[in-house]
Amino acid sequence: MKAKLLSVLAEPNRLDIVELLRNGPQPVGEICNKLKLHQPQVSKHLNVLSKAGFVEVHPEAQQRIYNLRIEPFQEIDTWLNSYRKFWKDSFDRLDDYLIKLQEDEMKKKGKSHGKKK
Amino acid sequence: MKAKLLSVLAEPNRLDIVELLRNGPQPVGEICNKLKLHQPQVSKHLNVLSKAGFVEVHPEAQQRIYNLRIEPFQEIDTWLNSYRKFWKDSFDRLDDYLIKLQEDEMKKKGKSHGKKK
DNA sequence: TAAGCATATTTCTGTATAGGAATATATAAA
DNA sequence: TTTATATATTCCTATACAGAAATATGCTTA
């Protein structure tokens, strides 16, 4: 995972553009109108998004229709996966803690759900 | 989803710190050594991470042990969810396209898997 | 209380980049 | 071929922020 990929989405207007494009492909003008941004800025942001692989463009007459590409999101998803193990461990530890409380308090019945340690 | 959250991870050294903390809690000095960073910079990055909720600290004698918190990652995960629908639609459209090719080519058997349109 | 280690904070500087304004390019229509 | 529309590009400026160096704070032990 490169920080560069995240930095592209870390700019508020750029993130807005990406979120807008979730609804489907849009020409530049539409994006300007909906987000109340000036055209040159939108073009520049789209250029950055394009270089990072977040969007692709399809010319249509004088318009240029931009749409999202899934690959970078999948890359982020894959990266997040390496943290899911960490979450699970966290929950295991919480689980251990709750079970310990339970045992300390009443020492009567064993655990009812999975526990690793 | 706030761009602010992503911007915190978009800084390379900060991302490195986060990735390091996946392996477990670490005192500041350890982080400095392992990442070859100067202590004041690490403290400042940790401060940013802390304010954004990515880490929490537990003092231990003169040391301060930092560890990851799961909430911001869950937030990112939730945000990514809203793009999974988009992926699915993308795959559906690819599916449609492949099916259409297939039909155009041989017009014999119907589809064998889910199709929305 | 003094001394030592671990960490935090402050100040300064350089750099990257987002936005504004003007202009260039490309396609379509008259 | 001129004009209009849609988008891209260039140049400039201001701001945010990461790193360096120096210093401050806090905890521990003698």
Q: In what order do the strands lie in the sheet with B26-27?
A: B26-27, B63-68, B55-60
E strand or H helix at B89: helix B71-106
pLDDT tens per residue, range A70-90: 999 999 999 998 888 777 766
Rounded mean pLDDT, B1-9: 94
Percent of chain A surpassing pLDDT 90: 67
The topology under which CATH files domain A3-69 is Arc Repressor Mutant, subunit A (1.10.10)
**Dmax of chain A from CA atoms?**
76
Beta-carbon-side half-sphere exposure of residue B72 (alpha carbons within 13 Å): 19
Q: DSSP 3-state helix, strand, coil percentages of chain A (rounded to 5)?
A: 65, 10, 25
Q: How far apart are CA B97 and CA B55, in angstroms?
A: 46
CA–CA separation, A88 and B105 (whole Å): 48
Pick from B11, B68, B82: CB nearest A22:
B82
* Residue in B closest to A88 by C-alpha: B70
Q: Which residues get their CB within 7 angstroms of nucleic chain D?
A: A 27-29, 32, 39-40, 42-44, 46-47, 57, 62-64; B 7, 11-13, 37-38, 40-41, 44-45, 48, 59, 61-62
Domains in chain A: boundaries? 3-69
- pLDDT of res. A84: 83
